Structure 1
């Protein structure tokens, strides 16, 4: 028993794409399935879906996401239903399930998580993830956008490490827990880490790993190209691909990221950086389809985790039916990439191998093991037994007189009134703090927006512009910042310029609610 999944990743270059072009691309991918059966799942990993200001400041992503959603929903006669969408900045992950097989009712325990690691601690780059249970097997889909530019492999490796360390999937809050602090909630709620036993991991996105070839010193460079043409095919460059080097290490300890992950063989041309399309999408030649200023690279990738114990059955491993790009899609400087995956459901994949587990521990990356899962299940069963015991005790309790019942009822009314007053006060304080938090997040995003667009300006001009904008904003909101961060007004300008996280690390965790003032108990 297995399920097929279409994983589609595309850097949209901050442009609105037409419904027709996206649907044609998805149909081209689906048509490659041998038995012509539409995939059960479709996962879209979309990077730079919206312009920076739309993603961060105005939160206006609907018009950019809608063509993709409509294209998937109407892809086949039976159609698809949207399961969940997760996002971080302009990076989106959207999961769909076939609507004509009643499989949507087999999905449970849907959770999401996101981590940002862009400039100025903004979400210019980041990962967003979706975890769910289907037919008793856990699946995790990740949409990612890593740091750009050649020579930044170590930064991209660091992006993965941060994602693996910080992605965490929390269970539902218990009633009343929404009024406690975030730190207390983390202790009380079930939490899964990114790496987990018996869980399939699928990682797709613009990972930005480049081809490490030397710049050309031949006459090609004099014609505007800064990279040498390959003799016959771009596939000659695969040995110099950074990500292939990362995941194909002979020993796991030699890898610098993506421990336990695999990728199908690449048989398609680089997906970046594509020239702006000529009329009708035509290009002069295969080589000249690429920008002369960037070395063509396979930036857009789909990976899957296969680092389970060797004694796990091979029938429980993901297999790749097709892995290719879709050059027919115009409108971006990237080509879309897709993979058709066959995910086994008859058995769970098993525990993470001890070699990978030990290696992750040395990197400071936590894992969720079978023992923790078993202990969590035992805790739930223990709570159920205790609840049943309390119910039985209540049933066997001696009956009360009418006077005692009246006193108990009056006490309940008093407690309800006190609870309402208390929760109203706490809710008001929560709203106040979140309003402040929202203003600061927008402020960070606005500064990140300017940082993004001034990246190509000479350093001294960028610095002057940035400081002028920061000073103007600071003069307007210095008091709220100082009050919110519990720092003096002089420190608040440093928080504004260098990022709130770096000046006040407790910023994101400082939302615990103070105790309300004593309230007179109503009679």
Structure 2
């Protein structure tokens, strides 16, 4: 690998609303981040991307100020762990963004110069809310004073649950996110594009839930080839045209029993958590570029969620022509399309969840009962 290549690490993690974001939980948070970085702890990367789904409770995701405070905390923790792993190196935040309970951070090595960052947020949830959606970040970067690259990272959480109607909704979510990025980022598809997150595609029709070794290579290949929704969707529809994925050789990442390394067999174990790549010339052999594509071991510190994190480490060649806006720090632009209905729904979800969190509903019920007693007995 030559120095003109870009070394990129991407991690996606559905936290089931339980990630320890409280500033007082730094030790626990550091253990988790160390595990997320474990597979490539021996060699520093140019870019580290972290995508989180369900980082916090749904109601907190309705308040950007809360979510932004969490990404600030996350960045400090990630930077601290990276500094511990690579004491001779320095790191900086290229950009962070949230929509609902989805969050993404892009962190760069100190040798990387940021020329431009464009951001985009898309809501795909019920009534245009942020219960589901995606974040796009298009980064034009330069390293070592001359090696240029443009990278678009799209972190998403698509429609959940099984059934044909939800498969259709997942395709619609994907298309909505990509269409919005088309509008905001222009010619970004001429460069490196990653689409990742909890895509929520399931294994269906597999009836051997209790006697299957999901780590067996033949079983993995059989499930992916014959029973997996995403593989079928990619072959049957143009939605995911030109996106490729490194070979999967790890067990399904969902659904686990919390506090355990065992699957919850109320659901068919599935590869919900994925990282897709769109090569500029559509001819790249992703397996030759990929250093690591795997799930992260389900150690006790990661058993607070029913998902396993997934990570990709990839070496990307410099393109012959790369959009370079300027040699100085360029603009950071964030776009969330005006949506009166979505804004209103998010506010309702946020304050309803906040009242429930404070257990105010118990107070309201109590006051209502007292009112009834007053009417009927006084």
Q: How far 1:137 sits from its partner (Å)?
A: 2.6
Q: What residue number does 2:53 align with?
A: 47
1:208 is the counterpart of 2:200: yes
Q: CA deviation digits over 1:350-409, x for unaligned, max 9?
A: xxxxxxxxxxxxxxxxxxxxxxx9xx9xxxxxxxxxxxxxxxxxxxxxxxxxxxxxxxxx
Tell me the equivalent position of 1:153: 167
Q: Secondary structure at the residue paired with 2:62?
A: helix
Find the aligned partners of 2:213 and 2:74 in 1 and give their Cα distance. Answer: 38
CA shift for structure 1 position 15: 1.5
Structure 2: tracts of 5 or more residues without a match: 21-27, 143-147, 326-337, 355-378
Pair 1:237-2:223 in alignment: yes
1:276 aligns with one of 258, 268, 286: 258
Q: How far off its partner does 1:238 sit?
A: 1.7
The answer on 1:322 being equivalent to 2:292 is yes
Corresponding residue number in structure 2 for 1:335: 308
Pairs within 5 Å for 1:277-292: 277-278=259-260, 283=261, 289-292=262-265
Output the TM-score relative to the length of structure 2: 0.74
Work out the CA distance in 2 between the residues paired with 1:41 and 1:444: 35
* Conservation of the 8 A alpha-carbon contact between 1:130 and 1:140: yes
Cα deviation for residue 62 of structure 1 reads: 4.7
Q: Structure 1, unaligned stretches of length 5 or more?
A: 171-190, 217-226, 284-288, 350-372, 377-436, 454-523
SS at 2:253's partner residue?
A: coil
Q: Does residue 84 of the first structure (1) align with residue 95 of the second (2)?
A: yes
Quote the offset at 1:111 in angstroms: 0.6
Cross-structure match for 2:186:
192
CA distance in 1, matches of 2:258, 2:130: 26
1:98–1:50 Cα change, 3 Å:
same
Match of 2:141 in 1: 134
Partner SS for 1:167: helix
Separation in structure 1 between the aligned mates of residue 282 and residue 251 of structure 2, nearest angstrom: 34
Corresponding residue SS for 2:119: strand
Asked which structure has the greater RCO (Cα within 8 Å, sep 6+), the reply is 2
Taking the aligned partners of 2:177 and 2:346, their CA distance within structure 1 comes to 20
Does residue 302 (structure 1) correspond to residue 309 (structure 2)? The answer is: no
The 2-side partners of 1:205 and 1:139 are apart by 17
Residue 319 of structure 1: how far off its partner (Å): 1.5
Q: Is the 8 A contact 1:261 1:307 kept in 2?
A: no
Q: State the aligned residue count.
A: 313
Partner of residue 444, structure 1: 345
Distance 1:127 1:62, change over 3 A: closer
Aligned equivalent of 2:241, options 246, 255, 259:
259
Query: Matched residues in 2 for 1:317 and 1:345: separation?
Result: 17
Instruction: Tell me the CA shift for residue 66 of structure 1.
Output: 4.5
Query: For 1:209, what is the secondary structure of its paired residue?
Result: coil
Please tell me whether the aligned partners of residues 158 and 200 of structure 2 are also in contact (alpha carbons under 8 angstroms): yes
Given the two structures, how large is their TM-score scaled by the length of structure 1?
A: 0.54
Contact 1:317 1:344 in 2 (8 A): no
Aligned CA distance change for structure 1 residues 73 and 450 (closer, same or farther; 3 Å): closer
Is the contact made by 1:157 and 1:256 (CA closer than 8 Å) also made in structure 2?
A: no
Distance in 2 (CA, whole Å) between partners of 1:255 and 1:307 is: 20
Structure with the higher fraction of residues in strand conformation:
2
CA distance in 1 between counterparts of 2:287 and 2:33 reads 30
Aligned equivalents of 2:171 and 2:352: distance in 1? 23
